[in-house]
Amino acid sequence: MKNEFISVVYHEIRTPLTSLRGSLGLLAGGVTGELSNQGKTLLSIAVNNTERLIRLISDILDLEKIESGSMELNIHPHKAEILAERAVEAMQGLANDHRITIDKEIEPCPLAADGDAVI
């Protein structure tokens, strides 16, 4: 019952959040005209917070799936340099938003880690 409740809540919250994210994206893209600097700042905060909420909700649902045993994991070895590259790529957008430059020098490495990687 708990898992079903969490799943319903997830879907009921995700739908309006996704719509909100889309609307904020349109505003950020200038569909209604140019925003003031203060408006851009507030819009950026709203977009970032909406993204965080969507990720949080997805993480909660994933935890529930893992706990209930209903999440399928495809465990196999992944090269360390590929995992490092993906981690940098995943953080690049957030870094850009905060004007942070990520310098990377990823050397070929014989190490691998077993896991279920998102491609």
Identify which of 113, 116, 52, 55 has the alpha carbon closest to the alpha carbon of residue 84: 113
Residue 6 has what pLDDT?
74
Residue 118 has what pLDDT?
62
Per-block mean pLDDT, blocks of 10 residues, the chain (119 long): 74 84 87 88 87 84 79 86 86 81 85 78
Residue 72 has what pLDDT?
80
Global confidence as pTM = 0.57
Contact 47, 21 (CB under 8 A): yes
In the three-class reduction of DSSP (H, G, I as helix; E, B as strand; rest coil), residue 79 is classed as strand
Residue 55, amino acid: R
Give domain limits for the chain: 1-72, 74-119
